[in-house]
Chains A and B, each alone.
Chain A
């Protein structure tokens, strides 16, 4: 397994955000984590990236314990993260944002190749190349956040709510892109409010309920499960 999380507990002060969750992501997979607001989805990704220190439990990436590493070392280990709310650098141009995405890399030609690849996936970013990221639309910023996370050429890409706040048409585009990135060899762990779409694109899924994993399994069986349908897919549609 590329990523193995075991009994992960995370707290904010006295509040327990994650109450011993375990999950795995295999090389080449798209795995999705779905659940209501406050269930602990974002905390899970932040713990993987080292932005939240786990209280206990372990996170292994490619067989190596990463739960005590600094965020910068985790990026170097091969994990990219497009955070919730996009978090692009607002007063920097698209170009500078992408350059920062490649901060851990030194070989100029590789960085140029990666930039070309990102601009190929998101032609819109090419048009906006010299524009300050803070002046772009939400959808453009989302593309930039994903593209920027790809610049470190991660083996595992963490995507936190990539479709949040986007128009239905852009949501479709983002999901097409997620498939495309995966098809080019990047493993993806995806958090989504849009459970239906997420389960359609993923091979496996986990359902998080108030800090614990409530259901897990193949994406198709989760999508068919009565409990999941009732809670997350808007009833037995």
Chain B
């Protein structure tokens, strides 16, 4: 039972990272029905950007006290801003012109964009794993036989806080309403006076910024990254988005945490090598019995 609770903690931390990435997939899909395959690579870029910022700040080991909060804030916000801008540039350069093209064109472009980012990162940081400094003191708390690390709490906390902020933004602000309107009906949104180009750019900005935050968290959590890291993580986060119901924010969060938990539990109770098989089997089963995902709405888009 202790092992179960230990894996529950591990799975939730892992899931927090997947959930943050999944939000970007689901937001972009929700608004322009594009599976942005480059999104996983934006997440890896987030880790590299964080690393670059830490290097600029001259931080290469554990920081204590108030300075830690400053370092964390600057690094996370910096990575979010840089990734956000990367997302906006990708949309502007690669996807906007293809908005009215057949669906396959932007999809192939997204795969191409993914290759471009991966190779840029390969060129920038080389083919080997790059170590990520341990900046936070990582005290461990024992709950009976279960150990919780401080960084696990940070991962889950950051994921939950960012999701609450996002949810509030999307449902309670004017721009958030504009995003939802654009997602539901682009022509009608324009007739309301909404500038859909700006709204779509904003969606890429936010989704990519969340991937940036996930990138930082992943560096901190795993202690290293490499240029190809986003491929596998991106695929699982995308699975999480589909599992929860693509286009649905709460679904992406739920899916992310579920995938993290399934992965952790499979690794523990079956075997490490089976974790991907189980994760994707769950996806297949959900799609067979609930094609719109766990929280996906079956209300038709157009009546």
**Which A residues lie within 8 Å of B191 (CB)?**
49, 51, 71, 75, 80-81, 83, 87, 149
Q: Would you give the shortest CB distance from B193 to chain A, in whole angstroms?
A: 4
B67 interface residue (CB < 8 Å to A): no
Q: How would residues 78 to 118 of chain A score, 1 for a CB under 8 Å from any chain B CB and 0 otherwise?
A: 00110101111111100010011101100000000000000
Instruction: Select one of B181, B195, B297 contacting A89, CB under 8 A.
Output: B181
A57 interface residue (CB < 8 Å to B): no
Q: A75-B191, A75-B192, A103-B192 are in contact. Are A141 and B180 (CB under 8 A)?
A: no
Q: How would residues 255 to 274 of chain B score, 1 for a CB under 8 Å from any chain A CB and 0 otherwise?
A: 00000000000000000000
**Which A residues lie within 8 Å of B303 (CB)?**
86, 88, 90, 134, 138, 141
A135 in contact with B299 (CB, 8 Å): yes
Instruction: Select one of B178, B184, B299, B302 contacting A103, CB under 8 A.
Output: B178
Q: How would residues 168 to 205 of chain B score, 1 for a CB under 8 Å from any chain A CB and 0 otherwise?
A: 00000010011011001101111111110000000000
The CA of A96 and the CA of B178, in the complex, are separated in Å by 11
What is the size, in residues, of chain B's interface with A at 8 Å between Cβ atoms?
22
A99 in contact with B177 (CB, 8 Å): yes
The CA of A89 and the CA of B181, in the complex, are separated in Å by 7
Q: Would you give the shortest CB distance from A59 to chain B, in whole angstroms?
A: 16
**Which A residues lie within 8 Å of B128 (CB)?**
none
**Which B residues lie within 8 Å of A83 (CB)?**
187-188, 191
B188 in contact with A88 (CB, 8 Å): yes
Q: Would you give the shortest CB distance from A99 to chain B, in whole angstroms?
A: 7
**Which B residues lie within 8 Å of A85 (CB)?**
302
**Which B residues lie within 8 Å of A76 (CB)?**
193
The CA of A71 and the CA of B193, in the complex, are separated in Å by 7
The CA of A141 and the CA of B189, in the complex, are separated in Å by 16
The CA of A202 and the CA of B142, in the complex, are separated in Å by 79
Q: Would you give the shortest CB distance from B299 to chain A, in whole angstroms?
A: 5
In B29-62, which residues have CB < 8 Å from any A CB? none
**Which B residues lie within 8 Å of A88 (CB)?**
188, 303
A152 interface residue (CB < 8 Å to B): yes
Secondary structure class of chain A's binding surface, majority of residues: mixed
Question: Nearest A residue to B247 by beta-carbon distance?
Answer: A91
Q: A72-B195, A89-B184, A100-B177 are in contact. Are A134 and B190 (CB under 8 A)?
A: no
Summed over the interface, the residue pairs from A and B with CB atoms below 8 Å come to a total of 79
**Which B residues lie within 8 Å of A70 (CB)?**
195
**Which B residues lie within 8 Å of A103 (CB)?**
174, 177-178, 192-194
**Which A residues lie within 8 Å of B185 (CB)?**
87, 89-90
A89 in contact with B194 (CB, 8 Å): no
A152 in contact with B193 (CB, 8 Å): yes
Q: Would you give the shortest CB distance from B202 to chain A, in whole angstroms?
A: 14
Question: Nearest B residue to A148 by beta-carbon distance?
Answer: B192
The CA of A15 and the CA of B184, in the complex, are separated in Å by 28
A89 in contact with B300 (CB, 8 Å): no
Q: Can you offer 27 A-B residue contacts whose CB atoms are under 8 A?
A: A70-B195, A71-B191, A72-B193, A72-B194, A75-B192, A81-B191, A85-B302, A87-B185, A87-B188, A88-B188, A89-B185, A90-B184, A91-B184, A91-B297, A91-B299, A92-B184, A100-B178, A100-B192, A100-B194, A101-B192, A103-B177, A103-B193, A103-B194, A134-B303, A141-B303, A149-B191, A152-B193
The 6 A-B residue pairs with the shortest CB-CB distance, nearest first, are A75-B193, A104-B193, A71-B190, A87-B188, A103-B192, A89-B184
B residues apposed to A, CB below 8 Å? 174, 177-178, 180-181, 184-185, 187-195, 297, 299-303
**Given known contacts A51-B190, A85-B302, what 17 new A-B pairs fall within 8 Å (CB)?**
A83-B188, A83-B191, A87-B187, A88-B303, A89-B184, A91-B180, A91-B299, A92-B184, A99-B177, A100-B192, A100-B194, A103-B178, A103-B192, A104-B193, A135-B299, A148-B192, A152-B193
